[in-house]
Amino acid sequence: MISAGDFRNGVTLEIDGQVMQILEFQHVKPGKGAAFVRTKLKNVINGGVVERTFRPTEKFPAARIDRVDMQYLYADGELYNFMDNNTYEQVALNQDVVGDALKFVKENDTVKVCSYNGNVFSVEAPLFVELEITDTEPGFKGDTATGATKPATVETGAQINVPLFVNQGDKVKIDTRTGEYLSRA
């Protein structure tokens, strides 16, 4: 059991029969009245975000989220196929479960498949990936005055902004959480 006074960002709890992850929390001590904890919670199953306040003494059970490393095999229409690297068991997930998680993931890359009580609710891509630029306009010498960027397409088909000196065929490192260019690989 986790009390509201011990809340931290990223902690996953069961609140009113729903699995919620704490996005933000703030301990508030008003001049008059009792202290409380103001939180922003995300429902990990359906993605909804709500704001709630709790007394610091309220307690909630921690939710056990299983994160399993799986290899992304291939997409087959609306289904995305993954394989557990330990048991070689294959799982097919719908587009609504996967969402945009595979935007920067190539076939045979390893991802984390998240489940609660055996029900898969999301897929997490690695934090950083190295991908090849498949299409971008060439940069011209002298265009680098203020760190300008240009659009580029990576090998997974996703669009990112890269500095002008990056050319077609270059490998780049990308932060999958923000979709930002980090460096050349």
pLDDT above 90: percentage of residues in the chain: 5
Q: Quick one: which of 18, 54, 22 has its CA closest to 36?
A: 54
For the domain with range 65-124, which CATH number is right: 2.40.50.140, 2.60.120.260, 3.40.920.10, 1.10.3720.10? Answer: 2.40.50.140
Q: Quick one: which of 156, 151, 124, 154 has its CA closest to 138?
A: 151
Task: Spell out the domain ranges in the chain.
Answer: 2-60, 65-124, 128-184
Bridge-based pairing state of the strands 159-163 and 171-175: unpaired
Alpha-carbon radius of gyration of the chain: 21
**Over 70: is that where the pLDDT of 174 sits?**
yes
pLDDT above 70: percentage of residues in the chain: 96
CA angle 161, 177, 63 (to 5 degrees): 170
For 121-183, give the secondary structure using H, E and C: EEEECCCEEEEEEEEECCCCCCCCCCCCEEEEEECCCCEEEEECCCCCCCEEEEECCCCEEEE
Q: What is the pLDDT of residue 10?
A: 78
**In this structure, how many other beta carbons lie within 10 angstroms of the beta carbon of residue 126?**
13
| Residue range 175-184, pLDDT digits in tens | 888 888 888 7
Q: Which CATH architecture has domain 2-60?
A: Roll (2.30)
| Residue range 147-162, pLDDT digits in tens | 778 888 888 888 888 8
CA distance linking residue 114 with residue 65, whole number of Å: 7
Q: What is the pLDDT of residue 113?
A: 86
Q: Which of 20-24, 127-131, 143-147 comes out lowest in average pLDDT?
A: 143-147
**Over 60: is that where the pLDDT of 143 sits?**
no
Q: What is the pLDDT of residue 66?
A: 85
State the greatest distance between any 2 C-alpha atoms of the chain, in Å, as a whole number: 64
Q: What is the pLDDT of residue 38?
A: 92
**Over 60: is that where the pLDDT of 144 sits?**
no
pLDDT band, very low/low/confident/very high, at 142 (cuts 50, 70, 90):
low
Mean pLDDT of 130-139: 84
**Over 70: is that where the pLDDT of 67 sits?**
yes
Same fold, 2-60 and 65-124: no
Q: Indicate the fold that domain 128-184 takes in CATH.
A: OB fold (Dihydrolipoamide Acetyltransferase, E2P) (2.40.50)
CB 61 within 8 A of CB 81: no
Q: Which of 11-20, 33-42, 146-155 comes out lowest in average pLDDT?
A: 146-155
CA angle 62, 64, 66 (to 5 degrees): 155
pTM exceeds 0.75 for this model: no
